[in-house]
Amino acid sequence: MALKMRPGRMSDEPGVGDRVRLTVAGRACEMVQEGLVLEPVAADCITIKLVNGYNVTHPLTDIESVLLLDSAAESSSAGGSAEAAAGEETPQPDQQTGLPLVVLLHTGGTIASRVDYATGAVTARFEPEEIIDAVPELRRIACIEAVKLGNMWSDDMRPRHWNRILEASAEAFAGGAVGVVITHGTDTMHLTAAAMAFGWAGSGGRPPGRVVLSGAQRSSDRGSTDAAENLIAAVHWAARGPTPSGHRDAAVIVMHATASDGVCAVIAGCAARKSHSSRRDAFESIDQPPIATIAIEAGGCSISMSENAAGASEPAADRPLVSQPTLYSEQTAIAEFVANGHMQPRFVAAAIGAGADALLIHGTGLGHLPLDDPAGDSPENTELAALFRDYCAGGGIAVVSTQCISGPVNMDVYAKGRDQQQLGLIGHGASAPPAIALVKLHHLLSRGLDAAGIQAVWASDLVGENPLSIRE
């Protein structure tokens, strides 16, 4: 049966993205439901997204009437109904729709997945166009172009993939995009976010548009999914957020601010950490508050900037606009070690012998390593000290971060730390957590810096990773 439309609608059926009110014939009584029209999951059916986020599908034979509440085509031509929040940049409109151009760079992850009910496993199945069709609200925020870079779990990401994302984002900006949204698995999203930040701004510049990473903790076909709101908020920031300064905001992560719906946090890509394996508010901002929050409401999104968002914790001088990012050397190899009772000199020596370009050690507390043997029963400690002394004296690069979630590396407090500095270990005065330190080290190596060059800039604040407040 054809849908019975009220007068004023020319076509026989509503289109994807239209907001409608359905009257549905139930077994006991009629039901009235409102929502956005999605691509139908089966022939002769209509699928809508309800205001609570759930999707429902009805056979056309059960539809008594359809009232068109809002046309997606009319909203797009009008530039959207929601006004930008105070202080937000007025984006350059797309010539055809009047909306800003945002390019969706699709890499995969849970946001592009659904449950395989035959096995119970979550598998990557969605194409970027399917994600956009599943969240029709996006078309009211921006003109969306989708580019598929891959469909992979974030655990499989390598620096070569960082380069592909950087190159694709540069192409998007050259093509007129005001922002890019990178859909990404959450497990290593903080690494890629840091890579985007250092790639675009680590040499002192700023990107030509907004760079946003987002994903999901729950697959898109689950009732508890966070995918839609995360993506809506991410596209809103990419389209209407403030012009990036290159300090803290060169790349950001947009994900749920709490376990509940309604608000997403905008976290600096240089200061993010995934701190929970399954909660929807899995990401936290380390040593600095989030840049902003984004409220997702029926009438649209609104941005609330943090008090220190304009200048961040350390005022950034005006940075030049760059059109091409600094890419990462794909041949660089960094060996990582954790400072504890199982750190063995033979393993460190093996990494050095295998040609590691640098060593990154996750130190304890203020950045300490097991290098002393006061009881005379742990010769491996003194072997480690001698190994690091010889390695650093020969120009080797050994950097110490801290295993702690927050706080700086400070090798001036204890005699042990001062001894480590004498050995040539780098790290004093920096506060970046290990994951961010890894990316920063790779960025500096890709720029050709040697041990002395890295020592000179390691404690500096390149993109907001070393806030002044944590060092005071």
pLDDT surpassing 70 at residue 203: yes
Which pLDDT score, from 0 to 100, does residue 14 have?
78
CA distance 303 to 241: 8
CA 377, distance to chain mean position in Å, is 46
Does the structure show a pLDDT above 50 at 4?
no
Which of these is catalytic: 94, 107, 274, 293?
Answer: 274
Give the containing element (helix H, strand E) for 148. strand 143-148
Segment 248-261 mean pLDDT: 93
Please state which CATH number belongs to domain 334-471: 3.40.50.40
pLDDT in tens, 138-147: 888 999 999 9
SS3 call for 69? strand
Closest among 181, 113, 187 to 146, alpha carbons compared: 181
Q: Tens digit of pLDDT for each residue in 323-358?
A: 999 999 999 999 999 999 999 999 999 999 999 999
* Rounded Cα–Cα distance for residues 382 and 441 (Å): 26
274 flagged as catalytic: yes
pTM score, two decimals? 0.78
Say if domain 75-305 classifies as CATH 3.40.50.1170: yes
Domain(s) of CATH 3.40.50.1170: residues in the chain:
75-305
pLDDT given for residue 150 in this prediction: 85
Q: What is the pLDDT of residue 27?
A: 62
Task: Examine the residue annotation and report whether 4 is marked as an active-site residue of this protein.
Answer: no
**All residues at 6 or more sequence positions from 274 whose CB lies less than 8 Å from its CB, including other chains:** 186, 187, 189, 190, 282, 283
CA distance 127 to 151: 8
Strand partners, 35: 20, 50
Strand pairing partners for 292?
Answer: 266, 305
Q: Which residues pair with 283 in a beta bridge?
A: 274
Q: What is the pLDDT of residues 274-324, one digit of tens each?
A: 888 888 788 899 999 999 999 998 878 999 999 866 444 344 458 999 999
Lowest mean pLDDT of 88-102, 166-180, 231-245, 433-447, name the range.
Answer: 88-102
Say if strands 398-402 and 358-363 run parallel, antiparallel, or are unpaired. parallel
77: which residues sit within 8 A by CB, 6+ positions away?
Answer: 97, 98
Q: Distance between CA atoms of 244 and 180, rounded to whole angstroms?
A: 12
Q: Bridge-partner residues for 361, per DSSP?
A: 337, 400
Q: How far apart are CA 416 and CA 433, in angstroms?
A: 21
Which of 186, 188, 192, 402 is catalytic? The answer is 186
290, 267 contact by CB (below 8 A): yes
User: Is pLDDT larger for residue 70 or for residue 387?
Assistant: 387
Contact status, residue 268 vs residue 433, Cβ threshold 8 Å? no
Q: Residue 169 has which token pair?
A: 């984002």
CB 441 within 8 A of CB 447: no
Residue 297 φ then ψ, to 5°: -130, 170
186 is catalytic: yes
258 vs 36, which has greater pLDDT? 258
Choice among 97, 110, 183, 188 that is catalytic: 110
For every residue of 219-285, DSSP letters joined together read -TTSTT--HHHHHHHHHHHHHHSPPP-SSS-SSEEEEESSSSSSEEEEEETTSEEE--SS-TT-EEE
User: Hey, what's the torsion of the CAs at 382, 388, 394, 396, to 10 degrees?
Assistant: 170
Q: Whose CA is closest to 258, among 220, 229, 301?
A: 229
Tell me the C-alpha distance between 212 and 272, whole Å. 13
Catalytic residue among 187, 281, 287, 461: 187
Q: Which residues, in sequence order, are bridge partners of residue 122?
A: 115
Enter the tokens of residue 132: 């956009």
Looking at the predicted structure, is the pLDDT value of residue 444 above 90? Answer: yes
> Is the pLDDT at 111 greater than 70, yes or no?
no
Domain 19-70, what fold?
SH3 type barrels. (2.30.30)
Task: Please give the average per-residue pLDDT across 60-87, as a whole number.
Answer: 63
pLDDT at 57 over 70: yes
Q: Which residue's structure tokens are 């929970």?
A: 276
Who contacts 78 (Cβ-Cβ below 8 Å, separation ≥6)? 98
The predicted structure's pLDDT at residue 54: 62
What would the two tokens of residue 448 be?
């050709």
